[in-house]
Structure 1
Amino acid sequence: MIVDLDVGGVLIPGLLALVFVAIFATVAMIRVLCVVGIYRLFARRPLVELAIFALIYALLVQHLPSIGR
């Protein structure tokens, strides 16, 4: 079982919460890449954004605490 969050009596799935964290981290990473100047080297920028999101989300899911086996 994946841990759910209880916000004011409303249960939010843990994976959904991680999606929002990954989106904010992706936006921050893209801004850093733009400031540094590395982002202009990529030909397919939307594909790079998707890849960064997928990597961040996978890392967050890997470290999500689980209950049970």
Structure 2
Amino acid sequence: MILDLSIGGVLIPGLLVFALIALVATMVVIRFLAATGVTRLFAYRPLVELATFVIIYGLLVQHLPSIGLLP
């Protein structure tokens, strides 16, 4: 179960925290792909960025609770 994060008494949903982590990771991956020139192979870059975000987000939601980083 993904728990909420409490910061100063304000509850932040755990999935929102995962989304922010996935957004940062997506930016890093896309910059790496752009630096290596791989993004020139894609016809529609925004779709690749969205797909990268969805894949990273799905992996975070699926695997972080199972490895014990979240209760």
1:14 aligns to what? 14
1:56 aligned to 2:56?
yes
Q: CA RMSD for the aligned pairs?
A: 1.4
**Structure 1 residues 31-65: Cα deviation after superposition (integer angstroms, max 9, x where no partner):** 00000110111001111001100000000000242
1:3 aligns to what? 3
Q: TM-score under structure 1 normalisation?
A: 0.88
Q: What is the number of residues matched between the two proteins?
A: 67
| Matches for 1:29-40 after TM superposition, within 5 Å | 29-40=29-40
| Code of the aligned partner of 1:32 | F
| Code of the aligned partner of 2:28 | A
Instruction: Name structure 1 gaps, 5 residues minimum.
Output: none
Q: TM-score under structure 2 normalisation?
A: 0.85
| Code of the aligned partner of 1:40 | R
